[in-house]
Amino acid sequence: MEAFKGRTALVTGAASGMGLGIARGLAAGGARVVLWDLDEAGLQAAVDKINSEGGEAHGFSCDVSNRATVASVAARVKAELGEVDLLVNNAGVVSGGYLLDIPDEKIEQTFAVNTLALYWVTRAFLPGMIERNAGQVVTLASASGYMGVARLSDYSASKWAAIGFDESLRVELRSLAPGVGTTVICPFFVNTGMFEGVKSRLMPILKEEKVVRSILRAIRLRRRRLVLPWSVRLLPAMRLLPVPLLDAMANAMGVNRAMDEFKGRAG
Ligand SMILES: NC(=O)c1ccc[n+]([C@@H]2O[C@H](COP(=O)([O-])OP(=O)(O)OC[C@H]3O[C@@H](n4cnc5c(N)ncnc54)[C@H](OP(=O)(O)O)[C@@H]3O)[C@@H](O)[C@H]2O)c1
């Protein structure tokens, strides 16, 4: 099925994890894919993999947290490949630690990659989409954007911001360019390695391939929001409870112990 035929899709953080899976799926669906990542060797391997699978992939080394770099790499993409129809803001990082234990630079990097980069990358490609009144901006947020979690004070806040970014953009576009849509993705923990060591008592850690399939389906159907698993949608409703009860329920479900043995990629 060539669901994405004729589209040019750009995926950030596409050298590994869900970004690579999303890029492969979009290419398999007929899109020409543009991969951005920091990791040059990983990026080349990802491009080679997609091309060997019969897709068309182009790799650009880009640090999405650097505003000037994003502007110049975006200009190169447009000059070499034309406008982008589908943007997947996927690049993300996590520090994992109590507020006072996270180095200052890690906190800054978390917001620079998980939040501010959404602005720089989207602002680079949105004008073309608005002009054509066609396109889609996909943002990888997180279930932790619905609930604060111990040892995730920077990550969780950066993902709350990502959800707010998507929602504001979605309603702005309704009048500016109704043909341009947004999709926000809010998964629980996924076994990509980013959250290596987390323990979940609440629900099983999600499998990367399954999540990527769901994301591709949501993009294809232009769904506005994908929350995985479905039960995470109940979190905003839980906020109606008195705070002590909300915290007690989260603790009873093990939410605030989940990061106790976190290692992440560095571990
Ligand atoms: N895994 C989960 O449990 C989970 C749950 C909910 C939401 N998410 C979100 O889903 C997205 C993908 O997560 P994932 O688990 O697939 O992560 P991942 O496997 O760690 O992949 C993230 C990718 O982003 C790249 N990246 C990091 N900083 C970058 C920068 N400044 N510029 C360009 N690329 C950069 C990384 O490159 P390097 O390898 O070179 O650093 C890596 O290739 C993230 O936004 C994450 O926050 C993940």
Token digits for 173? 């576009």
Per-residue model confidence as pLDDT tens digits over 94-108: 999 999 999 999 999
| Average pLDDT score over residue span 173-193 | 97
- CA–CA gap between residue 83 and residue 8 (Å, rounded): 7
CA distance 48 to 23: 12
Closest CA to 108 of 157, 163, 72, 165: 157
How many Å lie between the centroid of ligand 1 and the Cα of residue 9? Answer: 18
Cα 84 from Cα 72, distance rounded (Å): 15
Cα(77)–Cα(73) distance, integer angstroms: 6
For ligand 1, pick from 34, 36, 37, 94 the residue to mutate: most ligand atoms within 8 Å of CB.
37
Tell me the pTM: 0.97
Which residues are identified as catalytic?
Answer: 155
Average pLDDT estimate for 180-206: 95
Contact 109, 93 (CB under 8 A): yes
Asked whether 196 lines ligand 1 (CB < 6 A), one says: no
Tell me, what's the pLDDT at 201? 86
pLDDT in the model for residue 1 = 62
The finding on whether 63 has its CB within 6 A of some atom of ligand 1 is yes
Q: State the greatest distance between any 2 C-alpha atoms of the chain, in Å, as a whole number.
A: 56
Domain boundaries, the chain: 8-257
Mean pLDDT value across the chain: 96
Cα-based distances in Å from 8 to 30, 31, 133, 175, 229: 9, 6, 15, 24, 29
Q: Does domain 8-257 have CATH number 3.40.120.10?
A: no
Ligand 1 atom closest to Cα of residue 18: 16
For ligand 1, the distance from its centroid to the CA atom of residue 169, given in whole angstroms, is 22
User: Which residue would you say has higher pLDDT here, 17 or 253?
Assistant: 17
For range 18-23, the mean pLDDT = 98
175 CA to centre of ligand 1 in angstroms:
32
Residue with tokens 């909300």: 246
Mean pLDDT for 161-178 is: 98
pLDDT average, residue stretch 63-76: 98
pLDDT of residue 202: 78
Whole-number pLDDT of residue 253: 87
Residue nearest to atom 44 of ligand 1 (CA): 92
158 and 115 in contact (C-beta within 8 Å)?
yes
Of residues 267 and 144, more confidently modeled: 144
